[in-house]
Amino acid sequence: MIVCSRCSKENQDHYKFCLGCGAELPRDSSKPRSFSGPTPPGSSTSKGRTTDAPQARAGRAEALASAPQLEVDPTPVEAARSKPVAVEDPLPAELAPLGDETSPCPHCGAQVPRNFRFCHVCGDDLQADPSPEASADAPAERVSAPAVAEAPQRATARARLVLIQPDGSEGEAFSLSGGRTLIGRGTGGIFANDAYLSPEHAEFRFEGDQLVVKDMESLNGVYVRIEPDVPIELFDGSIFRVGQEILRFEAPVAPDPADDGTQYMGSPHRGYLGRIALVIGRETTGDSYPIPPHGIHLGRERGDVVFPEDGYVSGLHCRVHSEVGHVFVTDVGSSNGTFVRVSIESYVPQGTFVLMGQQLFRAEY
């Protein structure tokens, strides 16, 4: 049951729009997840990093993650994923390249690539069935996690970063071992000539069967493509990329009122959630737009904020909106995707696109 935030009518779970007032209903709003958010101050339990997974097999990842407080609504459903359901059990990597394997959506019947967590047609959560034993598994996973992470390096390649060329075709691939692999301009190969990569840019490693990327405090960061229709939480300073545009979310800040009780005059404040600003320099932003409570859409042609000159932005690309008091970015099915900059480190599910420097890669394992 989804209760409409505008008119309070109760709607069935699979409805996209409210029967009462026509407002768009939050899709799967009970499980929006943060995307490598900053560790909240005072969280001494954290091991100094925050790991969140944006994608399908994130459930296990979250059981491992050391920052459960970032969960808006951590449900046992997520943890249950460590007991894979038959339908989503992936084929061995060599047999299951991205998108080739599909299975029918139980709700609408559309053929959905197996690495999708949500049906791209109807938005149905494909993995919504919790299995009862799962919650018992999770604590065990958590205990064993450090051991897995510290496991000795394996010499054999466990994953590949496949270069996606500007025309969409696949280029060279870079092998990642089971241990830690540092990449950057200094490591040469396909990374050598990219002036936008730091000499030591990012580090890849495995935690269990999950690939993790860590930003080595690089200048330009590591961006991971987010799944369509899955809200990813934004924090003050979060950066995301749409087409060629780099956007920063800024939480609302206001100066202190004057001592004599005089308030700052200005345009009507419509309860803005913050704003998004175009990054045009290290410390410099250009065009900016405040985000009203009902959110904004971004696109090349449609939406509240349009980028008519950026051919890499879809007609309607993504939206920035509020759920349960937090702000999220959600890709609405763009062709080239919405990428969120990894704040410290992030899980990289199989098939995920990763942007580093000027180049786009797909992680395969």
DSSP string, 283-321: TEEEEEEE--TT-EEEESSSSSEE-TT-TTS-SS-EEEE
Nearer to another protein among residue 12 and residue 267 (C-beta): 267
Is the Cβ of residue 42 or residue 268 nearer to another protein in the bound state? 268
Encoded one letter per residue, x for contact with another protein by CB under 8 A and - for no contact, window 229-258 reads: ---------------xxxx----xxxx--x
- Measured CA to CA, the distance from residue 33 to residue 74 in angstroms comes to 9
- Stretch binding another protein (CB under 8 A), from 11-19, 124-132, 166-174, 274-282: 274-282
CA distances in angstroms from 123 to 13, 25, 117, 225, listed in the order given: 11, 12, 9, 18
Q: What are phi and psi of 171, to 5 degrees?
A: -110, -145
In angstroms, the CA 214 to CA 180 distance is 10
Stretch 323-362: interaction string toward another protein, x if CB under 8 A:
----------------------------------xx----
Report how far apart, in Å, the C-alpha atoms of 142 and of each of 89, 149, 353 are.
Answer: 21, 11, 27
Which one, 30 or 285, has the nearer CB to another protein? 285
Instruction: Give the C-alpha separation, 202 to 221, whole Å.
Output: 8
Question: Interface with another protein includes 12 (CB under 8 A)?
Answer: no
Cα 363 → chain centroid:
15
**Interface with another protein includes 166 (CB under 8 A)?**
no
Binding segment toward another protein, per CB under 8 A, in 31-39, 64-72, 285-293, 342-350 = 285-293
Q: 12 vs 263, which CB is nearer to another protein?
A: 263
155 touches another protein (CB under 8 A): no
Measured from the CB atom, is 129 or 309 closer to another protein? 309
Minimum distance between the CB of residue 220 and another protein, rounded to whole angstroms?
4
Tell me if 288 contacts another protein by CB under 8 A. yes
Residue 360 burial (CB < 10 Å; 0-12/13-18/19+)?
A: buried
Using rule CB under 8 A, residue 178 touches another protein: no
The verdict on 306 binding another protein (CB under 8 A) reads: no
Given the rule CB under 8 A, which of 1-9, 147-155, 282-290, 294-302 is the region that contacts another protein? 282-290
Size, binding site for another protein by CB under 8 A: 48
Instruction: Say whether residue 198 binds another protein (CB under 8 A).
Output: yes
Of 365, 351, 355, residue with least CA distance to 178 = 365
Based on the shown chain and the rule CB under 8 A, indicate whether residue 308 belongs to the binding site for another protein: no
Using the minimum distance from each CB to another protein, give the nearer residue, 164 or 278: 278
Please report how close the Cβ of residue 276 comes to another protein at its closest, in angstroms.
Answer: 11
With beta carbons less than 8 A apart as the criterion, state whether 115 and 90 touch.
Answer: yes
**Considering only residues 201-230, where is the footprint of another protein by CB under 8 A?**
218-220
Backbone angles phi, psi at 148, to 5 degrees: -65, -45
Residue 193 near another protein by CB under 8 A: no
How many Å apart are CA 231 and CA 174, to the nearest integer?
A: 30
Specify the stretch interacting with another protein by CB under 8 A; choose among 103-111, 118-126, 136-144, 260-268: 260-268
Q: Which two tokens stand for residue 30?
A: 């009970």
Half-sphere exposure of 131 (CA within 13 A, CB side): 14
Alpha helices in 52-194 (DSSP H): 58-64, 76-79, 134-149
Of 166 and 281, which has the nearer Cβ to another protein? 281
Contact residues for another protein, defined by CB under 8 A: 185, 195-199, 218-220, 244-247, 252-255, 258, 260-269, 272, 275, 277-290, 309-310, 357-358
